[in-house]
């Protein structure tokens, strides 16, 4: 289960400056280095089951994981999309509140919960950074509540695409390619679970946006955006270029 084939020095870690360790000094990093271990998960694998004891916390190093919640009758809602540098688990809570699933192959940098909690109470920078990240996630969750409660299917799809576009233009720093383009990291069904729709509606609305020239598709997963402003308008977001995920 524990995959020791991967091991990265913190100093070389691709998420060094965005993850929970972002603020750590060299000394703190050494302590983390000592207690950390890597685990890999295949696409589709469940990382943590809701209700299970959580014996570890950690950061997504690569790949994408999702947080989901399910009603007994099977209705499912995705409540978070975890990208590289996002933190999984909750110090101070014994039991997981949500399912965490690997959407793509995932590598995580893990810490057993106990040592991590001790480290948190002695080194301020981890706790500070975690607070900051949690506040960001809370803001994102609240933006998402607006989407789930009040947006139309078309606006939901446009919002999702623009969020993904914004996020990975931030990651790759390619500023203004004439035509922005992104890969959707989710199946139609996963998008539906994220947006509170059915997969058929997702498919139809994507087709509609395509027909209306808002987006172009190459294959099922690759989306080009000829006019980002147009897409943002379709997303219905408050004009003030708000800050989501």
Partner DNA sequence: ATTGCTCCTTGATCCAGATCAACAACAGGG
Partner DNA sequence: CCCTGTTGTTGATCTGGATCAAGGAGCAAT
Q: How far is the CB of 201 from DNA (least distance, A)?
A: 3
**Residue 20 main-chain phi, psi, to 5 deg:** -65, -20
Binding residues vs its own copies (CB under 8 A): 51, 67, 69-73, 75-77, 79-80, 90, 92-93, 97-98, 121, 124, 127-128, 130-132, 134-135, 137-139, 141-146, 148-151, 195-196, 236-240, 242-243
Give 2-24 as a DSSP string.
--TT----GGG-TTTTTSTTTT-
| Of 129 and 154, CB closest to DNA | 154
CB 228 within 8 A of CB 180: yes
CB 126 within 8 A of CB 28: yes
| Of 71 and 173, CB closest to DNA | 71
CB 182 within 8 A of CB 161: yes
| Of 22 and 153, CB closest to DNA | 153
Give 208-240 as a DSSP string.
HHHHTTS-EEETTTEEEES-HHHHHHHHT--TT
| Of 132 and 189, CB closest to DNA | 189
Of residues 214-233, which lie at the interface with DNA (CB under 7 A)?
Answer: 217, 220-221
What CA–CA distance (Å, rounded) separates 233 from 145? 19
Q: How far is the CB of 135 from DNA (least distance, A)?
A: 30
| Of 52 and 183, CB closest to DNA | 183
**Residue 113 main-chain phi, psi, to 5 deg:** -60, -50
**Contacted entry of its own copies, DNA, none for residue 137, CB cut-off 5 to 8 Å set by kind:** its own copies
Let me know how long the chain is: 245
Q: How far is the CB of 145 from DNA (least distance, A)?
A: 15
Instruction: Give the footprint of DNA on this chain (CB under 7 A).
Output: 152-154, 187-189, 196-204, 206-207, 217, 220-221
């Amino acid at each position: 289960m524990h995959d020791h084939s991967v091991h990265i020095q913190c100093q070389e870690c691709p998420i060094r400056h965005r993850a929970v360790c972002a603020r750590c000094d060299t000394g703190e990093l050494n302590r983390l280095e000592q207690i950390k271990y890597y685990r890999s998960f295949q696409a589709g694998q469940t990382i943590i089951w809701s209700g299970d004891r959580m014996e570890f916390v950690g950061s997504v190093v690569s790949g994408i994981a999702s947080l989901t919640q399910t009603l007994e009758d099977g209705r499912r809602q995705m409540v978070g999309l975890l990208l590289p540098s996002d933190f999984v688990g909750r110090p101070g809570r014994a039991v997981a509140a949500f399912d965490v699933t690997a959407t793509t192959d995932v590598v995580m940098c893990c810490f057993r919960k106990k040592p991590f909690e001790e480290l948190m109470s002695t080194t301020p920078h981890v706790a500070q950074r975690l607070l900051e990240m949690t506040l960001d996630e809370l803001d994102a969750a609240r933006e998402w509540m607006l989407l789930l409660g009040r947006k139309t299917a078309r606006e939901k799809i446009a919002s999702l695409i623009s969020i993904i576009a914004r996020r990975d233009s931030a990651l790759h720093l390619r500023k203004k390619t004439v035509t922005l383009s992104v890969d959707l990291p989710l199946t139609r069904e996963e998008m539906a679970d994220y947006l509170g729709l059915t997969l058929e509606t997702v498919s139809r609305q994507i087709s509609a946006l395509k027909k209306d020239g808002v987006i172009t598709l190459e294959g099922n997963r690759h989306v080009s955006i000829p006019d980002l402003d147009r897409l943002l308008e379709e997303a219905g977001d408050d004009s003030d270029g708000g800050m989501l995920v």
